[in-house]
Amino acid sequence: MVRSPELAPLGILGGTFDPIHFGHLRLAEEARQQLRLARVRLIPAGRPAHRGAPGARAEQRLAMTQLAAAGNATLEVDAAEVLSNAPSYTVPTLERLRRELGAQQPLVLLLGADAFAGLPTWHRWRSLFELAHIAVATRPGHSLDTHALPPELAAVCDERSTDASALATSPAGCILRFPITPLDISATAIRSACARLESPRYLLPDGVVDYIAQHRLYREAPCEPEEEPS
């Protein structure tokens, strides 16, 4: 019997993207290279479920994400959460992608270490492993300390941890770690700079800088620190 060819994994990077910046884009690029992803899909949250109202409207954050991804064929932007009236949760989004892409397509949810540590607080978090692999970005020289994780998550890590070679051979269910270049850039700091009428140039793509200036975004008092959607 001839074996079906392996499907290249698709990376999934969700976030408020308020605004999207080079830290997000570098994470996507390094994940793509190290994990051998075909592409990375950027998914701006429409109505983030676990934080206050973003500083920019959903359609503005979508427009900035599209500007940031322009010209990079390995990045694609998914507008579905922005166009939906429902709160943004990761499990329903992955269920939608499964309907769209099929049961055999490997999906790789990209998370930072802090977001991963908070996974047990997420909506239907155990269902994540039925829908996608999870790749956790760590700083070089730092491993993910399972002893510091909630016990229920540490147990799942012990059961499911693997390396990147497993991603293309199954559609979901694995946990792996990959190092990324640490960039001291945050959306919170960018919003604060804009509120002080300081330029955020070189912290995010020029098209996004120009969009922020054109629409006079973040001129009010800075918002609370960003949180990952769940």
Asked if residue 108 is part of any domain, the answer here is yes
98's enclosing H/E stretch is: helix 90-101
DSSP state of 164: G
Asked if residue 29 is part of any domain, the answer here is yes
Asked if residue 197 is part of any domain, the answer here is no
Asked if residue 198 is part of any domain, the answer here is no
Structural domain that includes position 136: 10-184
Asked if residue 217 is part of any domain, the answer here is no
Distance between CA atoms of 139 and 79, rounded to whole angstroms? Answer: 30
Q: What is the CATH number of the domain that holds 93?
A: 3.40.50.620
Let me know: does 109 contact 71? Beta carbons within 8 Å.
no
What tens digit of pLDDT does each residue of 40-70 get? 999 999 987 667 789 999 999 999 999 999 9
Per DSSP bridges, beta strands 39-44 and 75-77 are parallel
Evaluated on CA atoms 29, 31, 33, 36, the torsion sign reads negative
Place of tokens 């059961």: 159
Asked if residue 225 is part of any domain, the answer here is no
Whether the bond into 19 is cis, omega within 30 of 0: yes
Asked if residue 4 is part of any domain, the answer here is no
Q: Hey, what are 63's tokens?
A: 């427009």
Strands (E), the chain: 10-15, 39-44, 75-77, 107-112, 133-138, 175-179
Count of domains in the chain?
Answer: 1
What pLDDT does 141 receive? 61
Low-confidence spans in the chain with pLDDT less than 70: 1-6, 49-50, 141-143, 221-230
Entry pTM = 0.90
Asked if residue 224 is part of any domain, the answer here is no
